[in-house]
Amino acid sequence: MPRAEVKAIAAATYQQVWWPAVEDVQFEGDHLPVWEDGYLDPVTGEYLPTWEEALDELGDEPRHVVRFGAQADVKGVLGGSKDADQCIRYLGKYLTKSIGDCHEPATAAERRHVERLTAALRYEPCSPACPNWLRYGIEPKNAKPGMRPGACQSKAHKPEHLGYAGRRVLVSRKWSSKTLAQHKQDRRAWVLEILGQTDDDPSRYTWRPIKAGDASVPSITHRLLKQIGERQRWRALAQAPPPQDPSATERRAA
């Protein structure tokens, strides 16, 4: 794919979020909506508009528009090259880090910026079901009793996520066309194959998830190092010259 084309696609790609406005704080402190088979204003007794009703009232401007930034940097990488290894290491490093850990605030101004962002994120609605909608006089989607603005547990509000709670890699069905359940099934088939067994008789096996801290399971570090060692061994085997075919040698001798 030409780089110019990838850049053109990135430039033309955007996401619109059609959400109600959050400019007017209607409930805060002790003045909060109460639940009576739906949220209502305790002073007027009026029910708050539901999420669906609020969506019906939207204007003709989206609440958020998200685009790719100027930092899109497209590079071609050949599979199996040194560059590819480098890229995988880089991706592995940053996909397993919290977004908030990728840049350490170095100055007081930067630290204040992060604090302000975290404080603002506390009340920014993160999804249609976020309790923060109550603050702006809207009943969240799938509302239930006990919701309180500013107390949403979603990842988007946590300092280490900097407002981002989405997935940083696609769900499995998008890259392998398989669901997680199907991947589990595959792993099970793989284990059975290694054991030289078949799955004909389901009563022969018990499959159960291993609980964290199970003494019979080595630590994650140990397991990862073992996996890496195994991969290296396979790679070395794949690169080794093929074993001599004795029949070919004999033929040449003849």
The whole-angstrom separation of Cα 77 and Cα 3 is 12
User: What are the C-alpha distances in Å from 20 to residues 46, 67, 176, 190?
Assistant: 19, 20, 36, 49
How does DSSP classify residue 31? Answer: B
Least Å distance between CB 166 and Zn ion?
13
Give the residue with the Cβ less far from Zn ion, 6 or 124.
Answer: 124
Q: Name residue 67's amino acid.
A: R
Of the two residues 54 and 126, which places its CB atom closer to Zn ion in the complex? 126
Nearer to Zn ion by Cβ, of 28 and 110: the residue is: 28
Helix (H, G, I), strand (E, B) or coil at 34: strand
Q: Which of 44, 56, 66 is nearest to 19 (CA)?
A: 56
Smallest separation (angstroms) from Zn ion to the CB of 157 = 6
- State which residue, 72 or 119, has the beta carbon closest to Zn ion: 119
Helices (H), the chain: 3-12, 51-56, 82-95, 108-123, 172-176, 180-195, 220-239, 246-253
Q: Which is nearer to Zn ion, 147 or 152 (CB)?
A: 152
Minimum distance of Zn ion from residue 124's CB (angstroms): 8
CB of 123 to Zn ion, least distance (A): 9
First to last CA, the chain: 51
Least distance to Zn ion, CB of residue 103, Å: 23
Residue written as tokens 């702006």?
A: 136
Q: Where do contacts with Zn ion occur on this chain (CB under 5 A)?
A: 126, 130, 152, 154
Q: DSSP for 40-53?
A: E-TTT-PBPPPHHH
Complex with Zn ion: residue 50 or 154, whichever CB lies closer: 154
d(CA 185, CA 137): 46
Smallest distance from Zn ion to CB 137, Å: 16
